[in-house]
Structure 1
Amino acid sequence: MDLAQHADARLAQWSALTRGGACCDRPAPGLCAGDREIVRFPGGSTAQVHLTTAMIERLRPALRTSTALNLTPAPTGWVGVRLETGSDIDLLATLVSAALLAAERTTD
């Protein structure tokens, strides 16, 4: 099992997340909170987390310090996470927690 699969399996156990469903209209595996896609695994050793643009701006100083993260220049609300070590999965889990919080607060 590669790290992306391990992360997917770990996060799929969270009661706040469900696999696929109406929120995921793409072939990449995804996990949703209600009708909002929260995390997806587009392939390789990567994940993408929907933090919302407001949450990204709030966390940007801390997010910039991580070499495992890919912040897109355009405000999409998504952050890429390279999964190369076990600590990257922990980082992903932390970001998913933040994404769940952001999803409760906004419809971004």
Structure 2
Amino acid sequence: MTLAWRALAQLANWPDLRQTVPSCGQGQAVSSARGEVVHFHSERDVDLRLTDRAIRRFAKDLRGSGAIRIVPGSQWVTLRMDAASDVDLLLTLVSVALQAQQMAVDPDDRPAVGCNDQRGAGFVKADLGRI
């Protein structure tokens, strides 16, 4: 079982989360009552929806991780699942995302529009240089 699918199996067992079809149509998703939280696009690439406030709050830490890609203007961050610690990071960030969803509406937050997979913002381009 790949790291991403292991994370998906763990999240599918969390209370208040359910496995769903992602709005982008690629892979699997996990949603809460307030909307989609995670898209599993491949065995390694995962998009996680955070609020603008959460991204601003953790931007320095997120950018410091080689496993995370932030796309300007997107409420989704992309995680590359290469190590067991990346699963732990994803689970922690899902907790952050769920807490952010439950907080009062942030006037700076925009409606979630398409995940990063739809923007071609995953790690695929980085992989092409290795081939």
Q: Same fold (TM over 0.5)?
A: yes
Hey, what's the Cα distance between the residues in 1 that align with 2:93 and 2:50? 7
Aligned equivalent of 1:12: 12
Q: Which runs of 5+ in 2 are unaligned?
A: 110-131
Percent identity reads: 34
CA RMSD, 1 decimal:
1.5
Hey, what's the Cα distance between the residues in 2 that align with 1:19 and 1:70? 24
Q: Which runs of 4+ in 1 moved over 6 A?
A: none
Q: Secondary structure at the match of 2:98?
A: helix
TM-score using structure 1 length: 0.88
Q: Secondary structure at the match of 1:62?
A: helix
Q: Which runs of 5+ in 1 are unaligned?
A: none
TM-score using structure 2 length: 0.74
Q: Which has the larger radius of gyration?
A: 2
Count the aligned residue pairs.
Answer: 105
Q: Does 1:57 align with 2:56?
A: yes
Hey, what's the Cα distance between the residues in 2 that align with 1:3 and 1:44? 7
Q: Does 1:30 align with 2:29?
A: yes
